[in-house]
Structure 1
Amino acid sequence: MMNNLFSIFDPTINLFNLSLNWLSTFIGLFMLPMSFWFLPNRHFFLWNFIINKLHKEFKNLLGINKFKGSTFIFISLFSYILFNNLLGLFPYIFTSTSHLTISLSLSLTLWLSFMIFGWINNTQHMFIHLIPQGTPFILMPFMVLIETISNIIRPMTLAVRLTANMIAGHLLLTLLSNSNLNLPIYFIFFVIFLQIMLLMLESAVAIIQSYVISILTTLYSSEVN
């Protein structure tokens, strides 16, 4: 029996006082079909098609000042988040992206690297970016303050967006599953149907959130060039 609704997100599985829940980040590699490692195959063609589409989109967002191969950073970010989001939909598998430990580590590391690179190599551009074009002279100090705060909270907003979306869906599934105990048999089938629909929605959310995080990170990196 759960102590509270958020107990499903607690890393409680351990061996010799070592948490094993975080192994879900890597254990999914063993769930890939054997044919994935043999080329050519359908899985490879599908994943290669997705990567090529993402590469073209990230390339357009980064603009002409991009470095060669920089799109693969964001493709890797998309793949990692998507992999963990979908893996968390399986029963009894820990959803690592539902914790700020993972999501904030990813967003803060990337944001810091972009900021350090921008302020060291493009200092004048970074100062200009703090003041939108056409801002009246009297409003410039306020705009600098507002833009600075918005830049600082970016990694937190990325992390909270991913974490909140992952937690919300899992909580709804948990609430529906716990309400089946004392219901009539005919109503249980209706609740199961709702759970299936919600699971399909969560699958879509897992894909959309990984795409949104990678797109926003790409946009943030394009601002420092």
Structure 2
Amino acid sequence: MMNNLFNIFDPASFMFNLNWSSSIIIILILPMKFWTMQSRSNSIYNSLNNWISKEMKINIKKNNSIIIISSLFIFISMNNFMGLFPYTFTSTSHLTMTLTFSLPIWLSIMMYGWTNMTNKMFTHLIPNSTPTILMPFMTIIETISNIIRPVTLAVRLTANMIAGHLILTIMSSNNPEFKFIPIILISEMMMMILEMAVAMIQAYVFTILSSLYLSEIN
């Protein structure tokens, strides 16, 4: 039972065997006119992109950084939604994919900050009004906190995507009596709506935290 349950996270076990190519399949199937002609789907995309860009401007002042973070939000949310379709591999449920997002962002922040603003990065290790006796401990705690940032970003996204998919799989794998089928169907529909909200929220949380880390060197 457990092996079958976790097979949903094995890219080689899917019917169409798209594996990791499912991460970009939604971009490949979009017609070229989507990016040039005004349509309802294009308006939704532009509205979403403008909204997340405004949210990022609160923490980030540089336009090139805003473009990177907003594009990351669109890509993660698309992958989260793609994982809700049947027989589609959820790439964001693997640390291989989520660490690919978080690790380069963290490394670039650390390299730029320690190279160009060394004194400011040192001040971040000791919060204001810290007693002198606690300064060595606060330095160790803040250093560990900075080091584990990419891991916490990646694990948060992965764990939330795995949890929802496991619940949906468990609910659909049972064979209830006929009289309980309507209850199961309603529960699965409600869970699917919740998963759609989680897909958007987790993409938003990932990008907001990335922008907060980036704002420390702006």
TM bin, normalised by shorter chain, reads over 0.9
In 1, Cα distance between equivalents of 2:97 and 2:160: 14
Which one-letter code corresponds to 1:48 in the other structure? N
1:188 alignment counterpart: 181
Which one-letter code corresponds to 2:3 in the other structure? N
2:126 alignment counterpart: 131
Residue 59 of structure 2 aligns to a residue in which SS? helix
Residue pair 1:13, 1:20 contacting (<8 A) in 2 also? no
Runs (5+) with no aligned partner, structure 2: none
Q: How many residues align?
A: 216
Q: Quick one: percent identity of the two aligned structures?
A: 56
Residue pair 1:35, 1:41 contacting (<8 A) in 2 also? no
1:7 alignment counterpart: 7
Which one-letter code corresponds to 1:192 in the other structure? L
TM-score normalized with structure 1 length: 0.90
**Superposed displacement of residue 38, structure 1:** 4.7
Runs (5+) with no aligned partner, structure 1: none
Alpha carbons of structure 1 residues 194 and 35: separation in structure 2 relative to 1, 3 Å? farther
Residue 70 of structure 1 aligns to a residue in which SS? helix
Counterpart pick for 1:157 among 129, 152, 158: 152
Residue pair 2:18, 2:89 contacting (<8 A) in 1 also? no
1:217 alignment counterpart: 210
Whether 1:68 and 2:63 are equivalent positions in the alignment is: yes
Which one-letter code corresponds to 1:141 in the other structure? P
1:204 alignment counterpart: 197
Which one-letter code corresponds to 1:89 in the other structure? L
**Comparing both structures, which one devotes a greater share of its residues to helix?**
2
Which stretch of the first structure deviates more once superposed, 160-169 or 4-13? 4-13
1:90 alignment counterpart: 85
Whether 1:57 and 2:55 are equivalent positions in the alignment is: yes
Residue pair 2:49, 2:74 contacting (<8 A) in 1 also? no
1:117 alignment counterpart: 112
In 2, Cα distance between equivalents of 1:186 and 1:205: 30
**Superposed displacement of residue 48, structure 1:** 1.3
TM-score normalized with structure 2 length: 0.93
Instruction: Supply the RMSD in Å over aligned alpha carbons.
Output: 1.8
Deviations 1:2-24 (A, max 9, x none): 7342121012248xxxx731010
Which one-letter code corresponds to 2:153 in the other structure? L
